[in-house]
């Protein structure tokens, strides 16, 4: 019987851990959308890598296929994805923007006038 409560808590923790996913960087959002990271190693890759604008997703064609690429010059990696993965990234960005706007709208402004005690000196050293 001790097994059931432990298994229940583990399953519940795994189920709810995906609900509060936070993407800290653009790279995290790209990975979550299905983009794959590739190391830039060959001289030809390095030459192409340097032509891409930093911090911007560009379209590159290879063998008549379009790929969406994002260079990360800090670690010499390139993130590449297809049109479907780019759409998933755009949806993720829109969802993140909406949640940030909702958080800002739900947060009441601070009323510093209610903090009259700060000027009374109770906090002084």
- Look at residue 89 and tell me if it is in a domain: yes
Q: Residue 101 has which token pair?
A: 């706007």
Q: Residue 69 has which token pair?
A: 């690429």
pLDDT tens, 66-124?
Answer: 999 999 988 989 999 999 999 999 999 888 887 776 666 666 655 555 555 555 555 44
pLDDT band at 30 (very low <50, low <70, confident <90, very high): very high
- Look at residue 2 and tell me if it is in a domain: no
Q: Which domain holds residue 33?
A: 29-105
Task: Return the half-sphere exposure (C-beta side, CA atoms, 13 A cut-off) of residue 3.
Answer: 0
* Distance in angstroms (rounded) separating the CA atoms of residues 106 and 44: 50
- Look at residue 99 and tell me if it is in a domain: yes
Asked if pLDDT for residue 51 goes beyond 70, the answer is yes
The tally of domains found in the chain comes to 1
- Look at residue 112 and tell me if it is in a domain: no
The CB density around residue 1, as the number of other CB atoms within 10 Å, is: 4
pLDDT tens, 32-46?
Answer: 999 999 999 999 888
């Amino acid at each position: 019987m001790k097994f059931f409560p432990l298994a229940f808590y583990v399953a519940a923790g795994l189920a709810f851990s995906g609900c509060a996913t936070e993407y800290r960087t653009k790279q995290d959002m790209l990975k979550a959308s299905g983009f794959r990271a590739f190391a830039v190693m060959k001289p030809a890759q390095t030459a192409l890598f340097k032509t891409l604008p930093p911090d911007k997703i560009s379209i590159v064609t290879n063998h008549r296929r379009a790929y969406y690429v994002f260079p990360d010059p800090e670690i010499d990696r390139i993130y590449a994805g297809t049109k479907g993965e780019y759409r998933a990234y755009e949806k993720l960005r829109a969802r993140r923007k909406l949640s940030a706007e909702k958080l800002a709208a739900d947060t009441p402004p601070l009323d510093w006038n209610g903090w009259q005690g700060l000027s009374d000196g109770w906090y002084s050293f």
